[in-house]
Structures are given as C-alpha cells and as structure tokens.
Amino acid sequence: MANDIWGVADLLRGDYKRHEYGQVILPFTLLRRLDAVMASTRQAVRDRNASLDIQNKQRLLEIAAKLPFYNTSNQDFASVAADSTNVAKNLRDYINGFSPNVRTILSRFDLDNQITRLAGAKILYLVLGRFAAMRDLEKLSNHDMGYVFEHLIRKFAEDSNETAGEHFTPREIIKLMVNLLIAPDAETVAGEGQVINILDPACGTGGILTAAEDHIKSINPKAEVYLFGQEVNAESWAVCESDMLMRFQRGTIHFGNSFSDDGFPGRKFDYMLANPPFGVDWKKVKDAVEAEAELGHAGRFGAGTPRINDGSFLFLQHMISKMEPVEGKGSRLAIVFNGSPLFTGAAGSGESEIRRWILENDLLEGIVALPDQLFYNTGISTYFWILSNRKAAELRDKVILLDARDQWEKMRKSLGDKRKQISDDQIKHITELYVDALKVAEDPTHADHGKIKIFRTRDFGYRRITVERPLKLRFEITDDTLAILADAKALAKWDGRDALIAALREVVGSVWWSKKEATNALHAAVVAGGAAWPRGATLTKSFWAAVSVSDPEGEVQKDKDGNVLPDPDLRDYENIPLDEDIDTYFAREVTPHVPDAWIDYEKTKVGYEIPFTRHFYVYTPPRPLAEIDAELRELETQIQKLLSEVMG
C-alpha cells in the first residue's frame, strides 16, 4: 500500500522536485485515511450537526462520529474528486469541515499552499483522483497504518538527505528496546490498578510510544497507559498526532524543540524511550540551552553541555530530569545512541562530566551493543543505554555491558542502508540475557558468558595526570636564528632589531651549553656591534625563543625561584584508574622509562569513558604464512588458466 501511495509521485514529477514529494503525499495520505475511517458515521454527523442550534457542538458531534474527531462538510473525497471544475474550492470546504484538532494537524503540513500549487500546475484533480481511488485504508489497523506512514516518511527522508538516524526507528529495534526497558518490571506492570505515563521527547511518528503501550497492554490489558511525546518536525508531529486521535489515545504530543521548548515542564514519567537523531547539533538553541545549564540542577542540563555538534547528552539529561523521584515509583528509560557518547571528550570536557554525573549517581543500569546496518539511512553501530533511579539491589553501583552485535539475520531485500534485522527469537534471547545478566556473568560455562560483563561504576572513571619533563636547552646563533629574529612579530616594531641582527652576525656558528655563558657572550657581541640589548618581557621572550634549542644534553632551565621549568613539547598524559594510587602507578609505568619526569598535580582531572569495544575485543591471530602463500599460488594458477583461455 505504501508503494502504491508513493506512486502518486509520477504525477508530481516535473512540477515538484524529488525532495518535495512528501509535502503532498503525506498530508493527502492522512486526509484519505481520515476520510476512510469516518465513512461509516459521516451521515450521522451531518444529521446531528443540522439538528443542533447551539455554539458548542464538539462533544455531541464526536459522539455521533464515534471518534475523537469529525467532519461536518457535505463533501467527501468521492464528491470532491467527482467535480473537476471546482476541485480546489470543494477540497478546501471539506478540510474546513473538520473538527479543530484535525485542522491543527493539517495546518502543520501547510496544506492550503500545496492545494494552490497543485491547482496552478493543473494536477490537483489528478492527484485527488488517485487518492480517492485507493481502497481498504479504513481496514488497516493503526499499527499497520503506522508502517505505511513510516515507510513514506523514510522515502521522504532519503530524498531529503536527512540526518543519519532521523525520523524512523525499525519496529524490531523498538520492540527490543521496549522489552529491555519493561522486562525487569513485568510483575509490577501486571499488578492491579496500574496507571503508567510514558514519554518520548523525540517521538517522530510515535512508533516507539505505541509499541510501548502495546507491550504493556500485552502484560496487563487493564493498565491505563498515557502517552506523551514531543517532536520538532511538523510532518512527523502531524502523523503522530493523527495516529493518537485514531487510537483514542490518552496523553499529549507537543510540537516543538525539546531543548528550548520543554513541552512538559514539571511532569514526571514512569518510562521514557527515545531514538534521537545521531549527532544533531544544537547551535540554533544554544542561548536557551546555556541559560538553562546555568541554573545547575534546578534546570535540565545541570551536569553540563556537550559539544555543539552533538546534542545526544542533552536528550538524555532532559529525560533524566523527568524521572519520577525514587522515593515514589522511580523511573526507567532507554535511549538509542551511536558510539560517540561512550567515549567522546577528554577528562574535564562536557561529555566526560555528564558521564561522570550519570555514573557517580548510579543511574546507568546497562548498555547493549547492537549490530550495524539496522537503520534505514545509516549503517553505523548503535547502542541502547538503559538508565534507572531504582536499580535492583544486586545491581547497585554496577553496570551491565551486553554485546549483542552478533544477534541479527540478513534481510531478504535491503531497505536503504538497512541490510540486517533482529528476529523475534533473537529479541527474546537478548532480553533474557539482559534480565539474567548477573547469573550469566558469574557462570563461565554459560554459552553466552563472553557476551556479558559486569563493571562497577567506578571502573569507568580515571584520573588524567599531566607528566612533565624538564626543559633542556642549548643556545646558538645560526643563519636560521637570525631569520627567526627577522620574522618575529614581537621585534617587528622595535627600532633596534636590524642593528641587533647585524651585531649577532659576528658570532654565527657559536654554541653555548648554559644560559649564563650565552648571556655573557651575546651581550658582549651586541655591545661590540653598537646595538641595543632587547629590554622588556615581550622582547626578551622573543629573543631567547630564537636563540635557544631543545636538546637532551642541554642545561636544565629553571624559573627565578629555582623551580625546574617543564618542556611543553615533551608533555605527556596518563589515564590512571580511580582505584589505583597515582604515585604507585607512576613509579611502575613512567619512572623506569623517563627518570627525570614528574607529575603536575594541579592539572590532574577526573574523567569517565566507557570503552565498550575494548572490553569485548577478542584477539584473532593472523593466518600462517604458509597458508597465505598456498592460497596466492592457487589464485595465480587460476589467473594463468583464465588468461590462457582468453588468449587462445
């Protein structure tokens, strides 16, 4: 059905560019779906509307429609498509007959301007006719209609060169994420009187939200589930909002940017899930984000801000700020990230400080590595981060790492960059591994023992020390030295530069191994040449920078207080695990190699990173040379045979 709908693009070709097709196809698909769903009660709504002589008819008309929306127009798709002369006028009349909630949704598509453009191109009647001829739209479940919309949006996104990971999460990924999030709470969810609030702050067309509700309902059909979402893309928001209407879904979908326009200030949620765009920049909302970050933990970004070109950790902090207090029910959340948030940023950087805050507050429960090539417009590897402020007692101060990169099967037909999928059996297997992670990690005989590792939260922390070595210099005058002095910006405006350089030409080739000797000899040469000695901090610094050369055999340089000066070019850094003594590590790993090195303790910083791949690396020895040689000889034989056949 999605491919049939996308076939309307044949009519748009020429008058619309490829990346513009979705601006017509998406709103008309939605309009046709609404038209089909309302068909059975259309006349009842018209009759009820004609019989009412009051201002506020909305609730009574919804009852007549047996839907949370209605249309009072005498038009429908069939009647509009039957009148080629007045198609634009009748279509607008039909749209204006919708209830206010649907008109708001349609306005996000800028549909009125599209009607004008289609009419001007003389293809509005043809496009409307194609949609009017479509059948069975009312028979599709909301779940299946979601597939249709998401397929269309995927096509639209591909033609628009959208950001990797944006718009659409494959359903099996959603199912796995929901399973991992809710599985540990299955008994609680199955209890009586459950009222559950779920948030997705980057909800797209709402697939993650509806899958979460379906899963909860499969555990407890009596549970009352409220879905809340936020979406910045107008078309995706409109599709999501319409889906919520047709599901009779309780909750709210807010239109706006989650970073700068919090749609749910002060609200807390039981579960949160999100697949935000990978590597999305937040330059446009920089002022709003930084203003809130200045509020500290009274705002949403108290742990710090990441790089401007990757807002992943802003989404995560936003979600953490919406967690129910642990004194109440607490919360669990899952978010899809690429590999960058695991390790990007050195100690003291925004990303490292955010990881530090999450781990030191024991919010991170686990990370699950997924196969690559799972998403439609990117083939990169991805990870689920699962956080909770009510971790089980046995998981406190611990983090689960689960390597599920081998849990995939090849798709029969690729869809964009998506060439792999995770089967239902694999979803079940991964979920069980996660729930039983501690047991699997403790059992070396378990078949998947190597896929699970349990770490303490402190294991991801380290202290970054600065290792300094003494600055050792020799001093010399060469032609290069004089060229450096001639080009030095600090000396450019000094009247004595040229005379100084001329005086120093007399000692070209001289080398001194102590600064005192160099000072005496150079001063004598300058005086003998009738030049002035450079005075002032700026001129002096520039002069000595030109005549000094780093040399392992040179003199150790000291400041005026007698402290050894460090050589910036020899400066190095070491990352030391939090639980290891710095001096012990230094004596073991550094001193034997560079005995004159020391630690600048004032520059020590604490950092956190999660080197997932390193923890699961398995060394594979190279093949024996004899085997490789044999293979090459076999290939040479085959090539010679083929060449002889070609040459006759």
Residue 102 has pLDDT above 70, yes or no: yes
Q: Considering only 68-72, 160-164, 213-217, which range has the smallest mean pLDDT?
A: 160-164
Residue 128 has pLDDT above 80, yes or no: yes
Q: Render pLDDT for 226-270 as a digit per residue (tens, 0 to 9).
A: 999 999 988 889 888 988 888 888 999 999 999 999 999 999 999
Cβ burial, residue 403 (10 Å; 0-12/13-18/19+): buried
| Orientation angle between helical segments 87-96 and 111-120, nearest 10 degrees | 170
What is the torsion angle, in degrees rounded to the nearest 10, for the CA atoms of residue 438, residue 439, residue 440 and residue 444? 110
Q: Render pLDDT for 582-624 as a digit per residue (tens, 0 to 9).
A: 999 999 999 999 999 999 999 999 999 999 999 998 888 898 9
Element (H, E) at 521: helix 515-528
- Provide the mean pLDDT of the chain: 92
CB-based contacts of 512: which residues, under 8 Å, 6+ apart? Answer: 474, 475, 476, 518, 521
What is the structure's pLDDT at 526?
93
CA distance 567 to 556: 10
What is the structure's pLDDT at 87?
93
Residue 565: which pLDDT band, with cuts at 50, 70 and 90?
Answer: very high
Residue 369: what residue type?
A
Residue 165 has pLDDT above 50, yes or no: no
What is the torsion angle, in degrees rounded to the nearest 10, for the CA atoms of residue 600, residue 605, residue 608 and residue 609? -50
What is the structure's pLDDT at 164?
43
What is the structure's pLDDT at 140?
76
Residue 157 has pLDDT above 70, yes or no: no
For the chain, give the percent of residues with pLDDT over 90.
75
Output b/e per residue, 129-161; b: 16+ Cβ within 10 A: bbbbebeebeebebeebbebbbbbbbbbbbebe
Q: Span 364-386, mean pLDDT?
A: 92
Q: Considering only 5-14, 227-236, 330-339, which range has the smallest mean pLDDT?
A: 5-14
Most confident of 172-186, 368-382, 456-470: 456-470
Task: Provide the whole-model pTM.
Answer: 0.84
Residue 161: which pLDDT band, with cuts at 50, 70 and 90?
Answer: low
